[in-house]
């Protein structure tokens, strides 16, 4: 807690100002291997999914007038607070703003402007004399430069399906449900959700179902499968056309269903 509240030291505080080059980066002490990076703005993490945090520092990273690469790593004191930095590589020819990918398994979490969250461990570029795949410099191409995302798909023919009864108050509907222990939460398609049953807005997102979608949340309902029942809430978000509902780990573990 003490580390969370302390203010950035003078020699690292400059990286949080409006400077746009790496020349403002300084090691914390004379024996430091890394250069501290701080958040340029205040960011609140509302979910456990990774978020990009700007640092206000623009590449390339130069030491004594010479561009170098770096490993972007987290700080142990930040990890102890439940904030984790996804490691990255900053190329010697990267010329855009350095951003830090962070996530927390315990949302919500707030990162204050000026809080030191990551560090750059400098690396000499040993690949200079090797022929690159492309003659173009990295430039400002950072996230997404590896190409299009490869998304996992769900093989509907390899997952068991069951009749699922969903009860709200005294009303009940019967759906054909796909059981998938790889899904964190259970989902019902909007087309199968009765129009007169309430839904609640939420900031939660569901990934892997046609990309990333903002889900609505149901009230407390009773899910019944094979005469076993559990009370829970479900997400209501678009599913593939042939799927009315998907039953995930949140329900399967309570029903002690093994797939």
Residues belonging to the active site: 180
HSE-up (13 A, CA, CB side) for residue 223: 31
Residue 17 has which token pair? 């100002």
Q: Could you tell me if 101 and 85 are in contact, meaning their C-beta atoms sit under 8 angstroms apart? A: yes
DSSP element (H, E) containing 229: strand 228-232
- Among candidate residues 250, 247, 95, the one with its CA nearest the CA of residue 177: 247
Q: Please name the residue that has the structure tokens 């809430």.
A: 233
| Dihedral-angle region of residue 253 (phi above 0 means left; psi in -120 to 50 means alpha; beta otherwise) | alpha
- Indicate the length of the chain as a whole number: 259
């Amino acid at each position: 807690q003490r580390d969370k509240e302390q203010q950035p030291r003078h020699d690292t505080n400059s990286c949080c100002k409006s400077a746009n080059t790496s020349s403002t980066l300084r090691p914390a002490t004379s024996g430091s291997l890394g250069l501290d990076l701080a958040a340029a703005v205040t960011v609140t993490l509302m979910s456990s999914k990774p978020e990009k945090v700007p640092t206000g520092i623009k590449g390339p990273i130069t030491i004594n007038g010479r561009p170098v690469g770096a490993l972007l790593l987290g700080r142990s004191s930040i990890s102890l607070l439940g904030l984790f930095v996804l490691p990255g590589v900053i190329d010697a020819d990267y010329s855009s703003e350095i951003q830090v990918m962070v996530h927390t398994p315990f949302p919500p979490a707030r990162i204050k402007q000026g809080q030191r969250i990551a560090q750059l461990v400098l690396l000499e570029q040993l690949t200079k004399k090797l022929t690159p795949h492309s003659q173009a410099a990295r430039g400002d191409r950072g996230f997404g430069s590896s190409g299009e995302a490869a998304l996992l798909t769900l093989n509907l023919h390899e997952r068991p399906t069951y009749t699922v009864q969903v009860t709200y108050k005294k009303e009940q509907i019967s759906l054909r449900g796909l059981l998938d222990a790889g899904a964190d939460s259970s989902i019902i398609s909007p087309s199968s959700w009765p129009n007169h049953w309430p839904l609640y807005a939420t900031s939660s997102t569901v990934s892997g179902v046609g990309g990333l979608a903002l889900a609505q949340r149901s009230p407390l309902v009773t899910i019944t499968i094979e005469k076993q029942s559990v009370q829970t809430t479900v997400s209501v978000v678009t599913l593939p056309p042939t799927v009315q509902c998907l039953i995930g780990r949140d329900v399967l573990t309570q029903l002690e269903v093994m797939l």
